[in-house]
Amino acid sequence: MKNIALLGSTGSIGQQTLDVIANNPTLFSVEVLTANNNADLLIEQALTFKPNVVVISNEDKYTRVKEALSPYPIKIYSGYDAIAQVVEMGSVDTVVTAMVGFSGLLPTIRAVKAGKQIGLANKETLVVAGDLITRLSIENKSEIIPIDSEHSAIFQCLVGEAEESVEKIILTCSGGPFHGKTAEQLSKVTVKEALKHPKWDMGAKITIDSATLMNKGFEVIEAKWLFGLRPEQIEVVVHPQSIIHSMVQFCDGSIKAQLGIPDMRMPIQFALAYPIRIKNAIPRFSFADCPTFTFTTPDTKNFRNLALSYEALHKGGNLACVLNAANEVSVKAFLNEKISFTDIAVINEQVMGQIHYVIHPELDDYIASDKTARIYAEEMILKMQ
């Protein structure tokens, strides 16, 4: 039995993680549930899964959660700091990090330092501070298992392989809803159009990131840290069918791929059950229903965010942290209809150019860079209106 702390339980990945746990009650139990704001769903989840601890980050909602769960022996805490504390509990085996954005960083660091096994769904943690997290995970023997579907695919392709036999990895990309569109067309994209992803059902932030290719850019950075790769060893290929989840090319020219229908419960289940595989009732992929797989190179001219990620990867330091912070602000502004779709990358690029570059950042530098980048991005957005 694995005891799980699920950070971000009310989001898309959080809900699907609970679905996997509910289907395997003899293998997994919920020790901790945390949510940012959605008290109603958190209460409902706590009533179903009976965790020992529940944390609601928004302190205004504490009383509501406390009262609803008062008949049960569940400890209730509130505030962001509480999330970072509960991951260290002795009764927790695995921490699933399914919160959105930079907020995942501190709780993940605490969990890694406590030597917990990490099911990593919050890719921003590795984007922001990949060197720090990687270093801490080695020092504290904290195993990081990716939940992101592409990285889960690569992780699965690497089972039984020697690290030095990897020539490169090929991250597949659906291309998002706007693949093939011109700059002119992209500038007129509406929020509603951008929120409709052709293949994956995800939260709002990551759906926009997928449409701008920022998500793929972040995945390139995530892959560098997870698998110890150089930038030139990471290739992105557009595969609109989203059946091949990613590939590894080895030193003998052989390529291994991992395939399946696009359903996040598969990589979640793989991460939770690793190193074993368990059965499920998720629909199977049929080659007869999808006889054509296509591949093209991504358009980094009109989708600048992917190019910016490679730039951040080559230059290193705090640049990826800055890119992530600028992007969180610009995506929010787009969702609030304050800027256009193409402005997202314009802001990201300008903030990266303005910020003070730190070559070997420590945690404090990351926190400061994140803060400054957000201020610059907000200022630019104000000027655009």
Residues near Mg ion (CB under 5 A): 148-150
Least Cβ distance, residue 219 to Mg ion (angstroms): 6
Distance in Å, CB of 163 to Mg ion, minimum: 22
Neighbours of 276 (CB within 10 A): 7
Angle at 83 between CA 77 and CA 87, to 5 degrees: 115
The distance of closest approach from Cβ of residue 200 to Mg ion in the complex, given in angstroms and rounded to an integer, is: 8
Query: What are 308's two structure tokens?
Result: 């910016």
Specify which residues 258 forms β-bridges with: 246
CB of 150 to Mg ion, least distance (A): 5
Coil/strand/helix, residue 352: helix
Task: Please identify, using beta-carbon distances, which residue of 150 and 370 lies nearer to Mg ion.
Answer: 150
The residue (of 35 and 154) whose beta carbon lies closer to Mg ion is 154
Whole-number minimum distance, CB 342 to Mg ion, in Å? 23
Which three-class secondary structure state does DSSP give residue 173? Answer: strand
Residue 169 DSSP symbol? E
Q: 58 vs 241, which CB is nearer to Mg ion?
A: 241
Q: Is 369 in contact with 325 (CB distance < 8 Å)?
A: yes
Structure tokens at 79: 């505030």
Smallest distance, Mg ion to C-beta of residue 68, A:
34
DSSP 5-46: EEETTTSHHHHHHHHHHHH-TTTEEEEEEEESS-HHHHHHHH
Structure tokens given for 129: 């501070």
Nearer to Mg ion, 120 or 351 (CB): 120
Residue 67 burial by CB count (10 A; 0-12/13-18/19+): exposed, middle or buried?
Answer: exposed
**CB of residue 265 to Mg ion, shortest distance in Å:** 14
Nearer to Mg ion by Cβ, of 117 and 152: the residue is: 152
Is the CB of 148 or the CB of 299 nearer to Mg ion? 148
Q: Please report which helix (H) or strand (E) contains residue 55, including its range.
A: strand 53-56
Q: Output 33 or 312, the one with its CB closest to Mg ion.
A: 312
- The residue nearest Mg ion at its CB is 148
N- to C-terminal Cα distance for the chain? Answer: 54
Q: How many residues does the chain have?
A: 385
